[in-house]
Amino acid sequence: MTVKLIAHTLIQRDRKYLLIKRTAIKRGKLNVYPHFWDIPGGSVEPGETPQEGARREAVEEIGLEISLEKIIHEDSEYDAAKATVFTRLVYAATIASTEPVGIKLDPEEHQNYRWVSSLEALKGEKIVPYLTAIVPPQ
């Protein structure tokens, strides 16, 4: 059995959260949760701490340096087909700069972004399941 660690960030600014919408195809392969709203994050690489992975993913996916606060969510799931336990850590985060924010999405992974104060703003749209536990519903 393999264990895979995933680190995400819930970035907040001006009482709003940054969400990014996944593409259907990621680097030539079907993306996990295609066209779903998510937050920046991904696999922690060998030799990297979860905090380093979360910061690196934010730079890669949205082009921003972030400051991490505390872990606000943890979940684990066993994928029998891959014989892998996936453990996700979500950090509360803020943007490191006080300057105006310029989001630069990686078009291979994400197609859109939105700042929302609650998930109500995405009513009727697809949202990755774990977000309902960490983003206020209203």
Instruction: Tell me the C-alpha distance between 97 and 112, whole Å.
Output: 22
Task: Output the pLDDT for position 78.
Answer: 95
Using CA atoms, how far residue 81 sits from 1, 84, 85, 96, 105, in Å, is 11, 8, 11, 39, 31
Task: Output the pLDDT for position 99.
Answer: 67
Instruction: Tell me the C-alpha distance between 86 and 77, whole Å.
Output: 5
Task: Output the pLDDT for position 83.
Answer: 94
What residue ranges of the chain have pLDDT lower than 70? 99-100
Long-range pairs of 81-86 with CB within 8 A, sequence gap ≥ 24:
82/2, 83/1, 83/2, 84/1, 84/2, 84/3, 84/4, 85/1, 85/2, 85/3, 85/4, 86/4, 86/6
Task: Output the pLDDT for position 101.
Answer: 74
Contacts of 30 (CB under 8 A, 6+ apart): 24
Task: Output the pLDDT for position 100.
Answer: 67
Provide the residue ranges of all domains of the chain, joining segments of one domain with +.
Answer: 2-98+106-116
- Number of other residues whose CB lies within 10 A of the CB of residue 19: 26
Residue among 35, 49, 55, 46 nearest 109 (CA): 35
Instruction: Tell me the C-alpha distance between 34 and 55, whole Å.
Output: 23
Task: Output the pLDDT for position 97.
Answer: 76
CATH topology of domain 2-98+106-116: Nucleoside Triphosphate Pyrophosphohydrolase (3.90.79)
